[in-house]
Amino acid sequence: MPTCNAARVCIFLTCVAGTKTCAAADLPTGFVRLAAVAPAILQDIRYAGSDNFTGRPVPGYGAPACWLRKDAAEALSKVEKDLAANGLGLIVYDCYRPQRATDAFLRWAADPADQSAKVSFYPNVDKRTLFAYGYIARRSSHSTGTAVDVALVRLAEGAVPKGLDFGTPFDRFDPRSATASPAIAGEARQNRESLVAVMGRYGFENYRNEWWHFSLRTAGATTTFDVEIK
């Protein structure tokens, strides 16, 4: 992997090489901090802490911050404004993900002895099947800055926003987390459908195995990055 002195140079190299990732000291060119574009969107970046399926902070998450490509951040801001008109809001759990984090997930998945978070995140699934079922992959659209993991919250003046019921928690590796799972009904199913609908209006496509995962359809981004989030 090349050592890059500026994100602009890195992007040029990755685009020419096609398969390389970029490491730089600052945001990649074309990226923004979501807080600067849509400050009303709540952020709970799980991989910056230990409340995730690995049970520890993930490499590359030096700060609990959401970075996205500018077009993805602007589209997400439109989603937030749409929801606010109905007393709802967004919370993001993951945005841009450095490639080193994805690599760490692969190492974790290959270690059958590490089951510290099984009860909370994959109680009904054999860890050895996570890769085959698509819960973990070698490359992620998160690393292009065009994907987000989100949920809906209900807003109330003077009160802490309340998360809505989606049938399973974020990052629960389970067939019930599939967006259209027949095991999910009632309010939780309606919430999933509402999330897919509002995200879809602004160009985001849902990943069918995870109700929370969305990628910007119109982004056309293939370059992945390995810039540490700070």
CB-based contact 205:214 (threshold 8 Å): yes
Give residue 221's pLDDT: 78
Give residue 17's pLDDT: 31
Neighbouring residues of 193: CB distance < 8 A, sequence distance ≥ 6: none
The owner of tokens 């109330």 is: 156
> What count of other Cβ atoms lies within 10 Å of the Cβ of residue 126?
11
What tokens does 175 get?
A: 């067939």
Give residue 6's pLDDT: 31
What tokens does 101 get?
A: 């984090």
Give residue 1's pLDDT: 33
213 forms beta bridges with 149
Tens-place pLDDT, residues 132-169 = 889 999 999 999 999 999 999 999 877 789 999 999 99
Tens-place pLDDT, residues 82-107 = 999 999 999 999 999 999 999 999 99
The owner of tokens 């995200």 is: 199
CB-based contact 206:199 (threshold 8 Å): yes
Domain range 31-216, CATH class: alpha beta
* Annotated active-site residue in 193, 205, 210, 228: 210
Give residue 75's pLDDT: 98
Give residue 156's pLDDT: 83
Give residue 8's pLDDT: 29
Per-residue pLDDT of the chain (230 residues; tens, 9 = 90+): 333 333 322 332 233 233 344 443 489 989 999 999 999 999 999 999 999 999 999 999 999 999 999 999 999 999 999 999 999 999 999 999 999 999 999 999 999 999 999 999 999 999 999 988 899 999 999 999 999 999 999 998 777 899 999 999 999 999 999 999 999 999 999 999 999 999 999 999 999 999 999 999 876 678 999 999 99
Does the active-site annotation cover 210? Answer: yes
State the helix-helix crossing angle for 186-201 and 70-84, rounded to 10 degrees: 130
Are β-strands 42-43 and 88-94 bridged in parallel, bridged antiparallel, or unpaired? parallel
Give residue 26's pLDDT: 86
Distances, alpha carbon 180 to alpha carbons 17, 184, 204, 211, in Å: 38, 8, 17, 8
